[in-house]
Amino acid sequence: MKKILLSLMLLVVSGYAVKTFGQSGCSNPGSCDVVLTGVEIGVTQKNCNFGGNPNKMEIVFDLKFKLKANGGNKWIFIHSYLQSDYPTVQAPPSVSGFFPCSGGAQDPPTAVNGGNLPTSYGQALKSFLNIGLNNNGATTILASNGYIPDASVVLNSPTGPAANSPGMTVTKTNLPVQAVDSFSLKNIRVIINAPCFIQPANVIPTPIIVKTDVWSTNASSVGKAQCWLGGITNGFNDPLINANKPCSSPRTYTLNISTTNLTPTTLTYAGYIDVNEDGAVNVGDIQILGGTFPGFVAGNPYFTPAPTTYPPYSNTPGIAEKPLLFIATTPLIFNSISTPKIYTQAGCIALPVGFKSFTAVRNHSNVVVKWETSTEINNSGFAVERNINGVWEQIAFVPSQATNGTSAGALNYQFIDLNNTKGITQYRIRQVDIDGKSKNSDIRAVRGEGQSGGVIIYPNPTNDGKVNIVFEDANITRDVAVMDMSGRTVKQMRNVTNNNITIENLTPGMYTVRIVAPATGDQIVQKIVVNKR
């Protein structure tokens, strides 16, 4: 078949304003009639340079899709390939793929008949995603060695002697009005044999094009593919979505959707309040944004020029603190791309743990990370995470001081990180509940050892129209304005409480950044240069 950017996720429900996807590719409906819609992709975790290989990454994602309800779909199999690895055994006028565009039941793909299926986890030049579902009654995931047509093929699964997706689950919900079954798979883990989609600032990520086959059969003839849909074109890192929910009142969001595609197309986008906080768009979630953006092409992104409110919910108690979800698609792909849940920044976020403060301050070769909680409910503790060069890693776990994880009083925590890196480092706290659920705090950034100045702007010059600003003092509210050489204000952010922000979509030229602390009147002015791309 939820940011090589992977993001495989969720399903669209009635009332969903974004395009619902229908049949594509090459199909044989047979008696089980494979009709696939509502494919959505959304990454939850990525590990770059997997195994020390810069051309390999490991991705964890969720996937949702709808399949036409039919009793013939008792066994369902999904195979996804990088486009360059897609089978080419069928000759025109069928398709360049494994499954033909006509004919009766046929042998399914295997590791040896041209199907390009893997016999080991993460095998190069093979399909990277292989899922088998036993759809007899309650749907279950087949074990990694449970591919019935070829026992040597390794599936993505949570069980078996070669389990490779721990925690992977599947649920199915029948939607009788739509005559479809809704499938939701979580915690799928795959290895992609390509560079990570976190690129240096001056490098445009390569769009990842994926080809997917889906086939199904009756339990009585599981050795034959009776129905299939082949050659589905999926996108995994395009459109690229960056969203943020600043710590301001009333609540706001910022949104930037861009593409690396040089073919002009129409972007369809939507935003939702995730009322039940499950990371999916469901009945009861509240749509706050929706529309189309024609002329969507590389260099012409859709973005909100300033933090945007979503009345009346921006300050509605019990709703304003709920996370947001953003979804985008173009006609060039079969699926949509979704963001992970976008929470309000720490310090104003309604969590089982109430954060009073969170700071990270450099002291020579150490960084002192401190946080204070006002309340804790069923809290296991805090994972301290650090980001150097674009990769987040856990560096410590600090258990909760609260008795049985619950406290109504203030508690103070501290962790000292030996960090002598010369560049910017980011820190965040991942609060973990006793039941294993977790939520990330806001991000704090610190200068590198030896870097001076109360404000650091980097990269400067910039080659992609994006700069990051780090404030040494995280306890001050600031107004930030960016002006071009004529004195015209092109970007403006008020009441900034985070100690690091990103300014994007600057065209080539020279700019002045003015940073003002309204409470004291202190002002800092710096020049930045944006080079031609």
pLDDT higher than 80, residue 415? yes
In this structure, of 1-5, 77-81, 472-476, the range with the lowest mean pLDDT score is 1-5
Q: pLDDT band for position 492 (50/70/90)?
A: confident
| Lookup: tokens for 435 | 């039941």
Q: With 80 as the cut, is the pLDDT of residue 225 above it?
A: yes
Mean pLDDT of 176-200: 81
Q: Cα–Cα distance between 360 and 32 in angstroms, integer?
A: 57
Q: What is the pLDDT of residues 463-480, one digit of tens each?
A: 888 888 887 665 678 888
pLDDT of residue 141: 94
User: Is a pLDDT exceeding 60 seen at residue 8?
Assistant: no
**Residue 80 above 90 pLDDT?**
yes
> Mean of the per-residue pLDDT values for the chain?
81
Of residues 10 and 249, the one with the higher pLDDT is 249
Residue 526 pLDDT: 85
Instruction: Show the 3-state SS of 414-479.
Output: EEEEECCCCCCEEEEEEEEECCCCEEEEEEEEECCCCCCCCEEEECCCECCCCEEEEECCCCCCEE
Higher-pLDDT residue of 220 and 170 is 170
Question: What pLDDT is recorded for position 10?
Answer: 25
* Residue 299, phi-psi category: left (phi > 0), alpha (psi -120 to 50), beta (remainder): left
Please state, in angstroms and rounded to a whole number, the distance separating the CA atoms of residues 75 and 56. Answer: 31
* Residues 81-103, mean pLDDT to the nearest whole number: 77
pLDDT above 70 coverage of the chain, percent: 87
Instruction: Indicate if the pLDDT at residue 109 is higher than 70.
Output: yes
Kindly report, residue by residue over 366-385, the tens digit of the pLDDT.
999 999 988 788 889 999 99
pLDDT at 154: 94
Two structure tokens written together for 446: 């610190």
Q: Omega of the bond prior to 108 within 30 degrees of 0, cis?
A: no
User: What's the one-letter identity of residue 144?
Assistant: S
Whether the pLDDT of residue 273 is over 50: the answer is yes
pLDDT tens by residue, 110-133:
999 999 999 999 999 999 999 999
pLDDT of residue 95: 58
pLDDT exceeds cutoff 60 at 358: yes
Q: Tell me the pLDDT band of 28, cut-offs 50, 70 and 90.
A: confident
> Band of the pLDDT at 23, cuts 50, 70, 90?
very low
Contact (Cβ atoms closer than 8 angstroms) between residue 493 and residue 480: yes
Residue 198 has a pLDDT of: 47
Q: What is the pLDDT of residue 285?
A: 92
Q: Is 436 left (phi over 0), alpha (psi -120 to 50) or beta?
A: left
Q: Parallel, antiparallel, or unpaired: how do β-strands 140-141 and 425-433 relate?
A: unpaired
Residue 11: which pLDDT band, with cuts at 50, 70 and 90? very low
| pLDDT computed for residue 76 by the predictor | 94
CA distance 344 to 253: 9
SS3 481: strand
Edge-to-edge strands, sheet with 438-446: 391-399, 379-388, 425-433, 438-446
Tokens of residue 120, six digits: 């080991």
pLDDT value of residue 96 = 64
- What is residue 156's predicted lDDT score, i.e. its pLDDT? 94
**pLDDT tens sequence across 328-350:** 988 877 777 777 777 776 544 44
Lookup: tokens for 463 = 């080659």
Q: What is the pLDDT of residue 201?
A: 38
Q: CB neighbours of 145 closer than 8 A, spacing ≥ 6?
A: 151, 154, 155, 160, 161, 162
In the predicted model, is pLDDT for residue 289 greater than 90? Answer: yes
Please state the pTM of the whole predicted model.
Answer: 0.57
Is pLDDT at 22 greater than 60 in this prediction?
no
Question: What gap in Å lies between CA 45 and CA 2, rounded to an integer?
Answer: 10
